[in-house]
Amino acid sequence: MLQLISEIVAFTIVLLLIPPALFLISVVVLAVLGALALTTGREQHGSRTYRR
């Protein structure tokens, strides 16, 4: 019985941790994509105008 309770608690903690983890991953991905877009935009700013 105690093992079942601990498994339920662990499962709940994991479920609670998933949204902030997904948010952090998306923020990191967006930051990397933004940095890549900025660096490529700086390199080829003559051929293409980078507008947001």
Q: Which domain holds residue 17?
A: 1-40
Q: Which residue in the block uniquely carries the two structure tokens 């498994």?
A: 7
Structural domains in the chain (count): 1
Residue 22 lies in a domain: yes
Over residues 43-47, the mean pLDDT reads: 59
Residue 50 lies in a domain: no
Residue 45 lies in a domain: no
| Model confidence band, residue 33 (pLDDT cutoffs 50, 70, 90) | very high
Map residue 12 onto helix, strand or coil. helix
Over residues 34-45, the mean pLDDT reads: 79
Q: How many Cα atoms sit within 13 Å of 29 on the Cβ side?
A: 6
Residue 39: predicted pLDDT: 87
Residue 14 lies in a domain: yes
Q: Which residue in the block uniquely carries the two structure tokens 């105690």?
A: 2
Residue 10 lies in a domain: yes
Residue 51 lies in a domain: no
Does this model's pTM top 0.85?
A: no
